[in-house]
Every structure is written in structure tokens, then in C-alpha cells.
Structure 1
Amino acid sequence: MSIGKEIVFFFGALGTFNGFILSLYFLFFTKKKYLSNYFLGALLFVLSTRIAVTVFVYFNNDLPKTYLQIGLSACLFIGPFLYYVLKSAIHNTVLKHWKLHLGIWFLAVLIIGLWFPYQNYPVLWNYYFVAFIFLQWFSYLFVSGYEIRILLQKVISNYESSSAAEKWFSAIFFGNALIFLAYFLGFSRVPFVSCITGAVAFTFVLYLIILILLHRKRTDDLFLLSIQKSKKLSESESVVILQKLQKIMNEKALYKNPNLSLKDLADEINISSHQLSQFLNNNLGRNFTSYINEFRIDAACSIITSNDKLTLESVGYDVGFNSKSTFFAAFKKHTGTTPLNYQLQALST
């Protein structure tokens, strides 16, 4: 075995080992027993099983075919467990018949595995069963993505202001999507993908471990997605926060700081980042970036109508945008027109 393969084998095996340890943690050792914990533990267990088989078979093709059957069978549970992880987190509940749902897949794997063992039907497994497995896996991945589409849009558009739980479940989805892609490319006979799979799995598990370490004093915050999403501040609380925000933004013009963060603004009005994010999302219906950009665009409109000597690009920088393209895109989204058209309209009146 070459040094390169030994390194790949090491990281793949390490990722698999950590995945098994992490699955045991979620299944048995978390303080609060959220249902999503159990599904995540099960998801990591079947993922680690599949990846372990991939890593060892890649470096030893003489392993018994039973190992291949176990690895492929584990793939049939990755999609369902991923779906239930996200479903239970977002809605704080799952479908009433989730046990029946998973039981049917388990029974199907057991019956097919006994009647058509890989050892005796390699062609059937390598072509037809594998194709079905990838179709089933992709279907659950697609449905899972649709289930958390709003969450993914928020995290992608404004990662910094997203809560720990939102980042956590987004990481779980994207990690699974990358692992699926690596396996699918391998199935499509793309060279060297089997090596990449181990590295992707290691990175995915390592990222989850890092998130846990960052929130080790309040790990349960990672699983409070549904509570954060559904809870809305009272009218009196929202009025107080809104007044503080408007006062601080108008008096200090904080929006002119291109590096202004959710935490910076929360500190200015003496509330937590989570409370501010909750207020903006649930009470005002917008994220942190959209809220700040409204002040920036309003200020830009005032400058454009009162001073035609400044370039539009310089106006964008003056009000807090860090690039011309970001300014132009936000301006059109907020006003429905471009800065140039707005300027021309202002000059013609």
C-alpha cells in the first residue's frame, strides 16, 4: 500500500471510528433526550457502517461478500433516518407511523438479504439493487431538503446571524448530501472517488464534533430548533426592542459599519444575539442582513437625491456596503429599481 493510500485509509478509518463514537453519544449520553438525538445517533451508525465497508473493501477486495451486503443494506436507512432527524427537529414531532415506516424497510432488507444474498447474486446487487438504493437515498435527501428549505435559505444567505441549531441541522443535511454525491460518483465509475468518500466522511464527523465542543456547556441548544422557530416575543417586549433598535440606529448610524454583526447590535441594546435574531425573524419577518440593509438603502436614497456629485459606488461604501455588487443588488431588492435609474428619476423631478 502506498503512502497516499495509507493516509486516505487512516482518515477514512478515523472518520468511521469517530462516527460510531458520536452515534453512541447521541443514542445514550446526551443530557436531554430529544427525539432528534436518537434519529441522529441511528443515522451516524448506519453512515459509519457503510463508510467502514467502503474503506476496508477499497483496500482489500478479498473481504467476504457479506460485508458488501451489509454496507449496501445500511444505505437504505440513511435517507429515512436523515428525514426523521430533520422532521423531528423542525416540527418537534414525527409522523405517527414512523416505527411502521422504518420497520417496513428493516423487514425488506432482511427478507431480500436472506432470499438474494450478495454471495449468490452479485450481478443483481451490483446493478439493480444498487440503482434502487441510490434512487431511494436521493428521494429521501430531496424530501429532507424540501422540508428544511426555509432554514437552508436563511443559513446560506446569512450564516453569521443563524442560530447554533440552524447551523447544526444545516451541517447534517449538507454533510449527507456530500456523502451521497461521493458515493453516486463512485457508482458512476468516476476515478478516485472511493478515496474521497472517506475524507468527506471524516470532515463531516469532525465538523459535528467541533460544533459540540463549541457548545459543550449548553449542548442542548443545538437541538432547540423548533422552540426557537415557534416562540414569538410578546407585543410589549417587541415594542421595547423595536424602540431601542430605531433609536440606536438613527443616533449612532451603526449600519454604516460594513463589519456590523448581529452580536454587535445585540450588545448595543443589551440583549442576547438569540433574542435579537428571534425578534427580527419572528416579529419583523426578516433576517439581520435585510434589516440593516433597509437603513443603508434609505440613507443611500437620501444621498442620491441630495448630492449628484458622488458616484453611486462611493454612495454604497458610505452607507456601509463593502462591495458595489452587493449595494446594487440590495438597492434593487429594496426599491425595485437600480441606483442609476433612481438617480435619473431624482434628477428629472
Structure 2
Amino acid sequence: MTFGQQMLFFFSAVGAFNGLLLGIYLLCVKKLKYIPDFFLGLILLTLSSRVGISVFMYFYPDLPRIIPHFGMAALFFTGPALYYYIRSSFLQEKFDLKTCRTSFGALTLVLGVVGLLYLFFPVTWDQYFGTFIYTVWSVFVLLSVYQYYLFSKQTARKPNQLIAPILMSNVIIFLAYQLLSTGWIQIYCAGGSLVFSFVLYTNFLILFSKKNEQTVVKDIPRYTNKKISEDLAESFVSRLERLMNSEELYKNPNLKLNDLAAKMNMSAHQLSQLLNDNLEKSFATYINEYRISEACEKIENGSFLKIEEIGYEVGFNSKSTFFSTFKKIKNTTPLLYKQSQTLSEVRL
């Protein structure tokens, strides 16, 4: 293997490995705390599996020929995962997880049946299996783009800023594989792997850049220990409430005082002073009140989520914290609150 081939192998393999680790983290560690993250993890896992197998087959062609088909089988689920990532990101608590599970079960059954055909028609199967996989991928990519278009027109505010970059990244990877699979470019496997690695790290850089931009705050003179005037405090509080309601920042379980202050274009000291002196609340209490308020709203509206899942959905990072905070603010437990709502509906 030449030095150029070694570098090609290194960058392709590292991208696949990092994507695989991130996919496993989102699938196994975060689980269903935030449903779109599950589908994002599935996208990364399937693409990384395909990319990793492609890299090794390109540089080590003597491996058993059945191995590339496992990579194609993983790619089969990339399109559906992208489609459901878009839907769950926009629909959030309205997303029907049960229907999604049924759909993935049906897709798995279809793939299993197609795989069994290899035992009876190996030559024909080898010829058309790739076409079948890419056709399914194409259909779901088009459906994903269409769903994004429809939801973007219907929803004034996107649930998060990741949807468009992730959709665009998948479209780029899809187009690259489609182009390279035509045979016009003779480094099909390695070429697709490099595109995946490039897109993966480009997204990392974009997200890192956005995070740094959010930490830049205009230099506003600091207040002294004197309490902020009522008129100025009222203006700040109104702006803070609009920000919290429009962007739902409290849903971020890792939200810090500095993060909110940067969004408010003020220093952390000023924001802390506003909360403590003018609202007589700590930062944690202020944020948790928003979380509990939305949790109550979900319970009252009969959300399909379990009690602990509601806690994760509104921004808590553990079941125990959600329960203790709910008890502190509402003077009852989430379960008892849910039962009281059910009794109220029965009486009505």
C-alpha cells in the first residue's frame, strides 16, 4: 500500500469509526430521552457500517464477497431513519412511535425475505440486490425532503437548528454514492467513504462555530449591587419570557446561566441579579418552573409519553430530579397529578 493509499485509508476509516461511536452513543446511551436523537444515531450507525465495510473491501479485496452485502443491508435503513428523524423532529410529542415501530418491523421483514432469496437465486440476487437497496434509499430521501418542505411551510419555528444541516448532509452523501455507483469514477467505495468523512467533520465544524458565536456578548456596563430599576427589569423580563417561549431553551438539559445570558445579550452577573433581586428566584428555579409548567400541560393533554419520558422531554436529565422538582413546585407527584386530572375529566 502506497503512502497516498495509506492516507486515503486513514481518513476514510477515522470518519467511519467516529460516526460509528457517535451513532452507538445516541442509540444506546441517550436511548429514547429525545426521539429524534435515536433516529440520528441510527442514521450514523447505518452509514458508518456501510462506509467502514466499503473501506476495508476497497483496500482488502480478498475478504469474503458476502461482507459488502452486510454493508448494503445496513444502508437499507438509512433512508427510513432519515424520514422518521424529520417527522419526529417537527412533530415532537405528537410523533406516533408505535406506527414507526410497525413500519421498521415491516421493513426488516422485507429485507429478510430479500436476503433469503440469495439461497435460491444467488446470481440474480447479486445483480439486483444493490439496485433494490438504492431504490429504497432514493424513495425515502425524496420523502424526507418533501416532509421537510411541508413541515417548514406549516411551522413558523423549527424545533432545532440541526434538521436542515442533517438533511442536507444526507442528500449530499446520497448523491455522492449514486454518482459514484454509476462507475464514472473508479474509486467507488473509497470515494463514498471520503464524502461521508468530509460531511461528518464539516458538520462538527459548523456546530462548533455556532456554539462559539453564541458565547460572544456585547460589552454592556455591569450593574452595581443596586437592584435593577422596575422599568428596566420589566423590559428585561418581557424579553426573557419571549425568548424562553419562542426557543424553548429550558428543554436543553445542559442549559447554563452563561448560555441564557448570551442569548439575552447581557452578562451572567446581570441576569443573575435580575432573577434574584427582581424576580426573587434562582436560575434553577426559574428554568424548572418552565419545565414543570410544560410537563403539566403534557399530562393534562394526555400525552402518550410515560411520566419519566415527559421529564426528559421538557429538559430534565434524570427521573429523580424531575420527580423531586415536580413535588417541590406542585406539592404533589407527577403520577398523582395525572390521576387528579383523570378524575377531573371523569367528573366532567
Q: TM-score, with normalisation over the residues of structure 2?
A: 0.54
Q: What's 1:181 paired with?
A: 175
1:199 to 188, 194, 200: 194
Whether 2:119 is the aligned partner of 1:124: answer: no
Give the CA RMSD over aligned residues. Answer: 3.7
Letter in 2 for 1:106: T
Give the Å deviation of 1:114. Answer: 3.1
1:295-338 residue CA offsets vs partner (Å, 9 max, x unmatched): xxxxxxxxxxxxxxxxxxxxxxxxxxxxxxxxxxxxxxxxxxxx
Letter in 2 for 1:192: I
List runs of 5+ in structure 1 lacking aligned partners.
Answer: 154-161, 218-236, 242-263, 272-349
Letter in 1 for 2:63: L
How do 1:1-349 residues align onto structure 2 when only pairs under 5 Å count?
Answer: 1-30=1-30, 33-92=33-92, 93-95=94-96, 96-116=98-118, 121-125=122-126, 127-149=127-149, 166-189=160-183, 190-210=185-205
Letter in 2 for 1:107: L
Give, in whole Å, the separation in 2 of the partners of 1:55 and 1:266: 47
Letter in 1 for 2:44: L
Letter in 1 for 2:192: T
Give the Å deviation of 1:213. Answer: 5.2
Q: Percent identity?
A: 28
Q: Is the 8 A contact 1:47 1:78 kept in 2?
A: yes
1:140-181 residue CA offsets vs partner (Å, 9 max, x unmatched): 00110111126779xxxxxxxx99965411121111112111
- The 3 A distance-change label for structure 1 pair 2 and 163 is farther
Give, in whole Å, the separation in 2 of the partners of 1:163 and 1:6: 46
- The 3 A distance-change label for structure 1 pair 152 and 61 is farther
Q: TM-score, with normalisation over the residues of structure 1?
A: 0.54
1:7-43 residue CA offsets vs partner (Å, 9 max, x unmatched): 1111111011101110122123349811111111111
Letter in 2 for 1:185: L
Give, in whole Å, the separation in 1 of the partners of 2:157 and 2:118: 47
Q: Is the 8 A contact 2:89 2:159 kept in 1?
A: no
| Matched residues, number | 219
Q: Is the 8 A contact 1:182 1:194 kept in 2?
A: no
- The 3 A distance-change label for structure 1 pair 5 and 150 is farther
Give, in whole Å, the separation in 1 of the partners of 2:149 and 2:164: 10
Give, in whole Å, the separation in 1 of the partners of 2:159 and 2:201: 17
- The 3 A distance-change label for structure 1 pair 265 and 63 is closer
Give, in whole Å, the separation in 2 of the partners of 1:129 and 1:146: 26
Give the Å deviation of 1:211. Answer: 5.7
- The 3 A distance-change label for structure 1 pair 265 and 42 is closer
Give, in whole Å, the separation in 2 of the partners of 1:109 and 1:54: 20
Letter in 2 for 1:181: L
Q: Is the 8 A contact 2:79 2:136 kept in 1?
A: yes
